[in-house]
Amino acid sequence: MIIMSLIVAGAIACSPPHVRHGRGFNGADRARIVATAERCVGVPYRYGGESPDGFDCSGLVMYVYGKHGMVLPRTADAQYDEGARITVKALQPGDLVFFHTAGRGRISHVGIYVGDGEFIHAPRAGKTVSHARLDNSYWRKHYAGAVTYFRRKTVPAVRQASRDS
């Protein structure tokens, strides 16, 4: 029994970050992710934080998704790289929105989209997990893109061919 548990644990730990074992994702999963993020509102920001004692932006995302069996990378830029890119118009609750807050070209901030142009994030030291709006002038200026983990990431044929070489 112990050996079987170790084999299963190893298989889960080695799975791609956006794969959950057992079943697919659905709209109820999105709602649960948003509900979990809502329960984190008010938790203090803590650099490197990934628990209800304190969160940074990517730690919040990793924690919320992890509560629902989805293992995501630890940093905002890695979360962006691993997700399937979507447009602003395609955003649905539970998707992730990303920003360039530390200079152009570098993903440095992430939030969980909750719908109606709002997202939940851990903003910075001295603040707490809170709601923000995508149409706020600061966030609009620093917006970098969005991804979803609710569908498989597709690799363009050109990139796939270069990987095979």
Catalytic residue among 18, 100, 109, 142: 109
Amino acid, single-letter form, for residue 74: R
Q: Catalytic site residue 109?
A: yes
Number of helices and strands in the chain (H, E): 6, 8
- With b for 16 or more beta-carbon neighbours within 10 A and e for fewer, the 10-25 pattern comes to eeeeeeebbebeeeeb
Please give the structure tokens belonging to residue 84: 């399937």
Local confidence pLDDT in tens for the 165 residues of the chain: 444 443 333 333 333 344 443 345 677 899 999 999 999 999 999 999 999 999 999 999 999 999 999 999 999 999 999 999 999 999 999 999 999 998 767 999 999 999 999 999 999 999 999 999 999 999 999 999 999 999 866 544 433 343 343
Architecture of domain 25-150: Alpha-Beta Complex (3.90)
> What are 39-85's pLDDT values in tens digits?
999 999 999 999 999 999 999 999 999 999 999 999 999 999 999 99
Residue whose entry in the numeric block shows the structure tokens 């112990």:
2
* Extents of the domains making up the chain: 25-150
Q: Catalytic site residue 142?
A: no
